Amino acid sequence: MIISVVGAGIIGLTAALTLADRGHTVTVHDPAPASGASHHAGGMLAPTAEVVYKQDPLFPLMRASAEWYPDLIALTAKYTDLPTGYRTDGTLVVARDTADKTHLEELRDYQSRHGMEVDKLTVRQARKLEPALSPALAGAVAIGGDHQVQPRLFTRALIDACRSANVTFSPNRIESLDALDGDQVVVANGLGASQLVAGLDLRPVYGDVLHVRVPQHQYPLLTRVVRGFVEDRPVYLIPREDGTLTIGASTREDGRDQPQVQGIHQLMRDAIELVPALEECDFIEATAGARPGTPDDLPYLGRIDDRTVVSTGYFRHGILLAALGARCGAELVEKHTPAIDLSACDPRRHT
Ligand SMILES: Cc1cc2nc3c(=O)[nH]c(=O)nc-3n(C[C@H](O)[C@H](O)[C@H](O)COP(=O)(O)OP(=O)(O)OC[C@H]3O[C@@H](n4cnc5c(N)ncnc54)[C@H](O)[C@@H]3O)c2cc1C
């Protein structure tokens, strides 16, 4: 089949690679590949730590995508030697004070009730795993199944892999689906999809993110993802193999696309509360990206007509859900029944 994919963020790129690997002729259209949310994301693959109360329809999607991630990484490695930053060292979640500890324990009960594996640790045990953690913490849990990729590396590798798999890149900004060639079209242009498909209710949910470099004498400051609650505010630190750390992320719907001083200040302060030696790191960059949010926080993934599949609205989980989006997106394009029930993701549900 001849297939046009609109958008070269993580969702469009993984869909394109999967479809090309299945023998289709694929063109990806994007004037600025990998410049959207995927450029700013932390890259945590966190089906357990990202659990939010009462979002039950999301859990099986996140779990399935986490299970399929090694296949997506292997598919990428089949076509490129470039690194993806995929790491399976697990995640610690820590609590700054006793109220945060209560929150952590309630969340752990909720996660356990949904069949997720979360191990309670003493602060001493957590500090044995990560000596840079503050001794003043109130509690900790370990989540072995929450992993990470480095999104900027991963999208660069995906572009290279797509080229090796004979995917064509076109620098066109698509203004109308009618203008596209192809037997099938995949609409995967993040927030821009609502301009192409009527009835998609997408909104930008901004997040500020920081990047620092760990000085040589402290490297590696952390060896796994550390997430935490500080006075009930969430913050995370993601160590990378290149010696940098990503710190994120605020959540705001103020329409401001530049990193905000208040958000950056708060993130930095909270992260230092958890890992005091962060103060000695080199500051590299502050950025802000827009998560493509939907009214119910579930993606839009499904067929809307005989020629068009929509795959967007992945909100705060698009890096994790890319494995699901790519596999089920390809199944939808080929008009097969998707490997998992996608009825909660119907792109027409808010029309
Ligand atoms: C601060 C922050 C932290 C995050 N952390 C995580 C995390 O740790 N884990 C996780 O799973 N998720 C995370 N996310 C969410 C994740 O980044 C997104 O859900 C995901 O990147 C969405 O990917 P996408 O390909 O749909 O969209 P995007 O990455 O936004 O890509 C859309 C692409 O479409 C192109 N485009 C737009 N309009 C058109 C058009 N008309 N024609 C052609 N091309 C077009 C754009 O140029 C862009 O390249 C985070 C997001 C943010 C902002």
For residues 330 and 229, state if they share a domain: no
Residues 304, 348: Cα–Cα separation, whole Å? 7
Residue 261 lies inside a defined structural domain of this protein:
yes
Q: Which of 278, 293, 308 is the last residue of a domain?
A: 293
Q: How many domains does the chain have?
A: 2
Q: Which of 293, 315, 332 is the last residue of a domain?
A: 293
Q: Looking at ligand 1, which atom is closest to the CA of residue 249?
A: 1
Residue 110 lies inside a defined structural domain of this protein:
yes
For residues 177 and 211, state if they share a domain: no
With a cut of 90, say whether residue 181 has pLDDT above it.
Answer: no
Residue 278 lies inside a defined structural domain of this protein:
yes
- Domain with 287 in it: what CATH number? 3.30.9.10
Q: Looking at ligand 1, which atom is closest to the CA of residue 173?
A: 42
Pocket perturbation via mutation, ligand 1, pick of 6, 10, 38, 251 by most ligand atoms within 8 A of CB: 38
pLDDT in tens, 262-281: 999 999 999 999 999 999 99
Residue 351 lies inside a defined structural domain of this protein:
no
The pLDDT of residue 96 = 97
Which domain does 95 fall in, by range? 91-143+204-293
Ligand 1 centre distance from Cα of residue 280 (Å): 31
For residues 211 and 192, state if they share a domain: no
Which band of pLDDT confidence, cut at 50, 70 and 90, is reported for residue 147? Answer: very high
For residues 168 and 235, state if they share a domain: no
- Domain with 30 in it: what CATH number? 3.50.50.60
For residues 210 and 71, state if they share a domain: no
Q: Which of 293, 308, 332 is the last residue of a domain?
A: 293
For residues 111 and 155, state if they share a domain: no
For residues 30 and 78, state if they share a domain: yes
CB-ligand 1 contact for 158 (6 Å cutoff):
no
For residues 194 and 211, state if they share a domain: no
pLDDT in tens, 8-41: 999 999 999 999 999 999 999 999 999 999 999 9
Residue nearest atom 48 of ligand 1, based on CA coordinates: 36
Q: Looking at ligand 1, which atom is closest to the CA of residue 207?
A: 1
Pocket perturbation via mutation, ligand 1, pick of 237, 316, 345 by most ligand atoms within 8 A of CB: 316
For residues 29 and 177, state if they share a domain: yes
Tell me the three-class secondary structure of the chain, residue by residue.
CEEEEECCCHHHHHHHHHHHHCCCEEEEECCCCCCCHHHHCCCEECCCCCCCCCCCCHHHHHHHHHHHHHHHHHHHHHHCCCCCCCECCCEEEEECCHHHHHHHHHHHHHHHHCCCCCEEECHHHHHHHCCCCCCCCCEEEEECCCEECCHHHHHHHHHHHHHHCCCEEECCCCCCHHHCCCCEEEECCHHHHHHCCCCCCCEEEEEEEEEEECCHHHCCCCCCEEEEEECCEEEEEEECCCCEEEEECCCECCCCCCCCHHHHHHHHHHHHHHCHHHHHCEEEEEEEEEEEECCCCCCEEEEEECCEEEEECCHHHHHHHHHHHHHHHHHHHCCCCCCCCCHHHCCCCCC
Residue 46 lies inside a defined structural domain of this protein:
yes
For residues 10 and 37, state if they share a domain: yes
> 128 to each of 35, 148, 274, how far by Cα in Å?
38, 21, 15
For residues 307 and 283, state if they share a domain: no
Q: Which amino acid is it at 29?
A: H
pLDDT in tens, 188-198: 999 999 999 99
